Amino acid sequence: MNWKLVVLSLGMSLTFWDIFNVPYIINYASTQFHASPVLASLPLSAEMIGYAMGGAINGFLSSLRGRKFGLLLSMSLVSLGSLLGLVAKSFSWIIPAELLIGLGIEGELSVVPAYIAETVSPDKRGRSVGLVTASGFLTTLVVGPIAVLINGQWRFLFLAGLLVSVIAFISRLKLPESSMWRIKRGRMTWDWGIVVMTLVWFLSYFTGYALFSDPVFQFLGSHGFQNTSLYFTYILYGDPLGVVIATLLNDKLERKYSVSLVNVLAGLVLVPWFFTGGIMFLFLGFMEMFLQGFKFPVMYTYTSEIFGTRIRTLGYGIADGIGHLGGAIGPIIFSSAYVRSPIDSFLMLAGVTALSGLMVAKWGAKTTGRPLEQIRG
């Protein structure tokens, strides 16, 4: 593997570590500090706000100051947030800590795929982005076991993030600047494709995050699976498998079509999943999570290709960052709809994610194997 990808994978693994350790931190710390339910909900909200802002901010700065600047800034923010959480004197300290971490996480996502896209050959672009993405998703497999083993000592979760982010920051000091950015940098002009990709990410995240909300556990129980956490874990393992398979296929398929198809199929699978039971129920649930995982390497790569060099990181940051707001409201709307009509709530999720795929099929450009200069310049 290219040494630059190894360096970037270290930071990306930290990104997903921080995404998935938040529920454990909130659970343990709120108990220790006797936080109210309202106060306990604020760190996650703060992190989501960080997502929405961090991509656009770091994307803009990376367009002006360079990709390397953005790579260092994202790790700096994660380090600062982790340090603040580590030394927290009250639960309220965790709120700004998660805000800073959220800014760093989405800042990371806005610049890493773009940096890779600009520094590897067109025929290896998808696989390279996929490998770095996979390093992040595979990290999620160890978050839960570690969080359980530390037995409520939530500061260790911040400590791990701090140590890795500092190491990642130091290792990135040796990374070269993107030569494509050096050559192409200049006045930025608005690209209306940003609006399209923001809507695509918004709709896709809407369904993706909704599938992690409480009604899904009720749904499992209503189909006879009483240990809902256990069976949710079974189907959830489809997610990292999807990431791995997508990484292997990313340069073999036209990404315009793979991005479109995976979102449409994710919508279609939700419908029969609702009506089945037994082994087929678990299989369709596993396949739904597989498709949710499959979409990330292809969508991360595609979003890094679809904008011109001068606005690439800003466009990516806006699309993915603002798109995360879909992940914020999706679980709320899905939960409300599920109470009124479970079948209608699933049909809504199916239609939303399928629409994101159809938008790419209609307005997307072909990118696989093409030099970035031939796509948007």
Residue found under tokens 């993030």: 161
Residues 170 and 11: their CA atoms lie apart, in Å, by 11
Q: Residue 152: its pLDDT value, please?
A: 84
Q: Residue 171: its pLDDT value, please?
A: 94
pLDDT tens track, the chain, 377 positions: 588 899 999 888 888 788 778 878 888 898 899 988 788 888 988 888 898 899 999 999 999 999 999 999 999 999 999 999 999 999 999 999 999 999 999 999 999 999 999 999 999 999 999 999 888 878 877 887 888 788 889 999 999 999 989 999 999 999 999 999 999 988 888 899 999 999 999 999 999 988 988 888 889 999 988 888 788 878 988 988 999 999 999 999 999 999 999 999 999 999 999 999 999 999 999 999 999 999 999 999 999 999 999 999 999 999 999 998 998 888 889 989 999 999 999 999 999 999 999 999 999 999 999 999 999 86
User: How many distinct helices (H) and strands (E) make up the chain?
Assistant: 16, 0
Q: Residue 77: its pLDDT value, please?
A: 96
DSSP string across 146-199: HHHHTTT-THHHHHHHHHHHHHHHHHHTTPPPPHHHHHH-S-----THHHHHHH
CA angle 177, 5, 239 (to 5 degrees): 130
Residues 54 and 127: their CA atoms lie apart, in Å, by 26
Which class is domain 3-184? mainly alpha
- State the span(s) of the chain assigned CATH 1.20.1250.20: 3-184, 193-375
Q: Are 270 and 350 in contact (CB under 8 A)?
A: yes
Which of 1.10.10.10, 1.20.1250.20, 3.40.50.970, 3.40.50.300 is the CATH number of 193-375?
1.20.1250.20
Q: Residue 1: its pLDDT value, please?
A: 56
Question: Residue 106: CB partners within 8 Å, gap ≥ 6?
Answer: 50, 51, 52, 53, 54, 55, 58, 317, 320, 321, 324
Q: Residue 377: its pLDDT value, please?
A: 62
Task: Report in angstroms the alpha-carbon separations of 343 from 10, 156, 290, 367.
Answer: 41, 42, 22, 37
Residues 107 and 314: their CA atoms lie apart, in Å, by 10
Cα-only R_g, the chain: 20
Q: What six digits make up the tokens of 252? A: 């073999």
Residues 172 and 174: their CA atoms lie apart, in Å, by 5
